[in-house]
């Protein structure tokens, strides 16, 4: 500070106070006159710029030895206009390190006249570095999140790994990134995805058991290489050296039993990778490992579904062959039983006597019944094997047509058949025909001992679900046996009471089941029976 000629004791005190402030300030404070001559340079400035006050006082800004205030003229002009000055600067120190500075400048006035400027410099190098690190970390987290999202939907391993290496290279700003897959045995590793590498290398290039990648897999944490040429822990593979790679980092990608391989990022210049860089790379490797496990599980599931489908198809083919052989081979002996019994009666009747003829006729009746059973079983089997052919079926019309047919065959009975109009359901025409045919024929049969009968086909809403029903006022049955109704060959009446094979309701259950529906019954002895069934509408 320059001394003015007339200074009062109070002024002297004031000057000393200011000089103490300047000397003890942690902020670099520099004063200049209007020409840019440095008039003040405090110890913090000496520290920050690495120049002593003796060196700097009297030098010109900005033409002095160090360009610490490049825009000084401009800034003084701003101050003259009464505007404020705040700048961010970068300053190269004598030792080559650069520092980031914030500059704030204020005018110095003497008796209202602008005589100079004071510039206050703050070292913000650390803060800036921290901000930059945060920005990098944010970018890496964003990239990792984006990759994770994509990894959930990828269905192709090559695509997934390709995306992994691209995101690693772009985010870490390196020239090369790669995934090496660990080969079984001692076969080393193979390049399965690469960024920066020639496309023909991918899928073919291999590295040995003594390579950086192999070393990465066998070491517990991430591997950092500062200078490949100086490396002693492993033998750099030609894959790296041929691409002038200097430094890099690598992490293992976990597999289900053994590691899947290695994810690496490589730079052709010396580069110090940060803790964040490693975390990022590890995150990508972990996500990749999880996605690979998912893809493997998917593939396994698919394989199992295929296997199960093949088994089902084989079972179905077997069933088909069985049905064919039933239809053909089981009939032939029956025909012989029946034919020869008849031949016996016709050709040797007198010698058989009445009882002998009766026996022969019973053989024929039994053969005939077995033939009916075979026919019904085949029908049941056909209901199972038949391909579903879904359409909109007018089941009211179907029921009416079956009712008319029943009446035509048995015209003497007094039966009123009431059918609700306009019932339509989605389903297979033939299967639905089998359902209604069996239920209505049953209703017709089990009312036959009553002089008058009423059969009803309709629908109802039960718990919000549409339910169809066939109701009769016939002999009904004991609900204690209701669970046997839908099982093949199970009957609740003797042949003499009501003939039948016990296949009809099993067929109904199968046909309804193939539509995703249910069937059940309620009844009381001599108070009729109601058979309910559902045909869920398909939503897909």
Partner 1 sequence: MEEEKRIMLVEDNSDDVTLTLRALKQANILNEVVVAHDGVEAMELLEDASRPLPTVVLLDLQLPRLSGLEVLQRMRDTDRLRRVPVVILTSSREEQDRLRGYDFGANSYVQKPIHSGEFLEAVSKLGMYWLLLNEPPPPVEVDPQ
| Gap between the Cα atoms of 389 and 249, Å rounded | 60
Q: Indicate the residue among 97 and 335 with the shorter CB distance to partner 1.
A: 335
Q: Is 296 in the site for partner 1 (CB under 8 A)?
A: no
75 touches partner 1 by CB under 8 A? no
Residues 6+ positions from 462 with CB-CB distance below 8 Å: none
Among 342, 352, 397, 479, binds partner 1 (CB under 8 A): 342
Centroid of chain to Cα 214: 31
| CB atoms near residue 449 (< 10 Å) | 12
Query: Which residue, 32 or 341, has its beta carbon nearer to partner 1?
Result: 341
Q: How many CA atoms lie within 13 A of 254 on its CB side?
A: 14
Q: Is 396 in the site for partner 1 (CB under 8 A)?
A: no
CA atoms within 13 A on the CB side of 396: 9
Please check whether residue 251 is in contact with residue 222, taking contact to mean a CB–CB distance below 8 angstroms.
yes
- 431 is an interface residue for partner 1 by CB under 8 A: no
Task: Specify whether the CB–CB gap between 203 and 181 falls below 8 A.
Answer: no
Segment contacting partner 1 by CB under 8 A, of 95-103, 104-112, 136-144, 333-341: 333-341
Contact 439, 521 (CB under 8 A): no
> With CB under 8 A as the contact rule, which of the stretches 23-31, 145-153, 336-344, 411-419 interacts with partner 1?
336-344
User: 224: closest CA among 254, 251, 262, 253?
Assistant: 251
Considering only residues 327, 357, 384, 530, which one is a binding residue for partner 1 as defined by CB under 8 A? 327
Residue 339 CB, nearest distance to partner 1 (Å)? Answer: 4
Binding mask 119-158 for partner 1 (x = CB under 8 A): ----------------------------------------
Residue 10 within binding range of partner 1, rule CB under 8 A: no
Nearer to partner 1, 27 or 374 (CB): 374
Q: Is 387 in the site for partner 1 (CB under 8 A)?
A: no
Rule CB under 8 A: is residue 373 a binding residue for partner 1?
no
The verdict on 364 binding partner 1 (CB under 8 A) reads: yes
Minimum CB separation from partner 1 for residue 388, in Å?
Answer: 17
Query: Phi first, then psi: what are they for 6, rounded to 5°?
Result: -100, 110
CB of 336 to partner 1, least distance (A): 4
For residue 334, the minimal CB distance to partner 1 (Å) is 5
User: Of the ranges 26-34, 41-49, 88-96, 329-337, which one interacts with partner 1 (CB under 8 A)?
Assistant: 329-337
Tell me which residue has tokens 């003939």: 499
Calculate the alpha carbon distances from 305 to 94, 159, 296, 313, 498 in Å: 72, 24, 14, 12, 46
Q: Does 334 bind partner 1 (CB under 8 A)?
A: yes
Is 336 one of the binding residues for partner 1 (CB under 8 A)? Answer: yes
Among residues 335, 390, 452, 538, which is the contact residue for partner 1, using CB under 8 A? Answer: 335
| Residue 505, phi then psi, degrees to nearest 5 | -75, -30
* Binding region for partner 1 (CB under 8 A) out of 14-22, 179-187, 323-331, 419-427: 323-331
Among 208, 340, 356, 400, binds partner 1 (CB under 8 A): 340
The residue among 238, 240, 210, 205 whose CA lies nearest residue 225 is 240
Among 368, 391, 416, 495, binds partner 1 (CB under 8 A): 368
Among positive and negative, which fits the CA dihedral 302, 303, 309, 312? Answer: negative
Residue with Cβ nearer partner 1 (335 or 392): 335
Instruction: Choose between 327 and 530: whose C-beta lies nearer to partner 1.
Output: 327
- Residue 341 or 396 having the CB closest to partner 1: 341
* DSSP-derived secondary structure for 232-269: -SS---HHHHTTT--EEEEEEEP-SSS--EEEEEEESS
Exactly one of 371, 426, 458, 513 binds partner 1 (CB under 8 A); that residue is 371
| Backbone torsions φ then ψ of 127, nearest 5 degrees | -60, -45
- Under the binding rule (CB under 8 A), the answer on residue 270 touching partner 1 is no
**Inter-residue contact 193 to 261 (CB < 8 Å):** no
Per rule CB under 8 A, count of chain residues that contact partner 1: 20
For the beta carbon of residue 68, count every other beta carbon within 10 angstroms: 25
Nearest approach, Cβ of residue 406 and partner 1 (Å): 23
Q: Write down the least CB distance from residue 383 to partner 1, Å.
A: 14
Using rule CB under 8 A, residue 356 touches partner 1: no
Which of 301, 343, 462, 525 touches partner 1 by CB under 8 A?
343
> Residues 113, 186, 220, 329: which binds partner 1 (CB under 8 A)?
329
Q: What is the DSSP track for 398-410?
A: HHHHHHHHHHHHS
The DSSP H or E segment spanning 217 is helix 212-218
Options 294, 331, 454, 466; binder of partner 1; rule CB under 8 A: 331
**Distance of alpha carbon 212 from alpha carbon 225, whole angstroms:** 9
Query: Does residue 108 bind partner 1 (CB under 8 A)?
Result: no
Could you give the CA distance from residue 107 to residue 116 in angstroms, rounded to a whole number? Answer: 6
The residue ranges that bind partner 1 (CB under 8 A) are: 324, 327-329, 331-336, 338-343, 364, 367-368, 371
């Amino acid at each position: 500070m320059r001394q003015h000629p007339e200074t009062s004791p109070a002024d002297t005190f004031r000057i000393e106070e200011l000089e103490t402030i300047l000397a003890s300030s942690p902020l670099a404070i520099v004063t200049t006159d209007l020409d840019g001559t440095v008039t003040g340079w405090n110890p913090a400035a000496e520290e920050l710029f690495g120049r002593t006050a003796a060196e700097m006082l009297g030098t010109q800004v900005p033409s002095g030895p160090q360009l610490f205030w490049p825009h000084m003229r401009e800034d003084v002009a701003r101050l003259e206009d009464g505007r404020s000055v705040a700048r961010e600067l970068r300053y190269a120190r004598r030792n080559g390190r650069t520092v980031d500075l914030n500059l704030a400048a204020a005018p110095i006035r003497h008796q209202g006249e602008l005589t100079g400027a004071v510039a206050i410099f703050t070292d913000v190098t650390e803060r800036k570095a921290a901000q930059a690190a945060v920005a990098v970390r944010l970018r890496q987290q964003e990239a990792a999140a984006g990759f994770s999202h994509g990894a959930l939907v990828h269905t192709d391993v090559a695509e997934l790994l390709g995306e992994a290496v691209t995101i690693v290279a772009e985010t870490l700003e390196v020239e090369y990134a790669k995934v090496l897959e660990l080969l079984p045995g001692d076969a080393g590793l193979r390049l399965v995805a690469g960024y920066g590498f020639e496309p023909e290398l991918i899928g073919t290039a291999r590295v040995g058991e003594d390579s950086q990648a192999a070393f990465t897999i066998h070491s517990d944490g991430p591997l950092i290489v500062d200078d490949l040429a100086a490396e002693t822990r492993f033998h750099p593979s030609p894959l790296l050296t041929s691409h002038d790679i200097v430094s890099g980092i690598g992490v293992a990608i976990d597999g289900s039993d053994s590691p899947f391989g290695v994810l690496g990022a490589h730079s052709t210049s010396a580069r110090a990778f940060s803790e964040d860089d490693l975390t990022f790379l590890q995150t990508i490797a972990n996500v990749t490992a999880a996605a690979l496990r998912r893809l493997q599980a998917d593939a396994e599931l698919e394989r199992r579904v295929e296997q199960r489908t093949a088994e089902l198809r084989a079972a179905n083919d077997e069933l088909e062959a069985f049905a064919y052989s039933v239809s053909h081979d089981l009939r032939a002996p029956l025909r012989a039983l029946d034919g020869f019994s008849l031949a016996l009666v016709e050709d040797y009747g007198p010698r058989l006597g009445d009882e002998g003829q009766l026996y022969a006729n019973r053989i024929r009746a039994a053969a005939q019944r077995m033939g009916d059973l075979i026919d019904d079983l085949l029908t049941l089997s056909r209901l199972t094997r038949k391909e579903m052919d879904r359409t909109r079926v007018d089941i009211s019309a179907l029921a009416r047509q079956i009712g008319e047919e029943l009446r035509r065959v048995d015209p003497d009975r007094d039966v009123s058949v009431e059918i609700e109009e306009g019932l339509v359901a989605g389903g297979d025409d033939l299967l639905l025909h089998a359902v209604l045919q069996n239920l209505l024929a049953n209703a017709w049969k089990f009312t036959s001992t009553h002089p008058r009968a009423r059969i009803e086909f309709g629908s109802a809403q039960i718990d919000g679900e549409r339910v169809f029903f066939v109701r009769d006022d016939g002999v009904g049955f004991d609900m204690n046996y209701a669970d046997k109704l839908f099982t093949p060959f199970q009957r609740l009446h003797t042949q003499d009471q009501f003939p039948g094979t016990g296949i009809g309701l099993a067929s109904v259950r199968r046909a309804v089941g193939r539509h995703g529906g249910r069937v059940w019954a309620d009844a009381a002895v001599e108070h009729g029976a109601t058979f309910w069934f559902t045909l869920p509408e398909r939503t897909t």
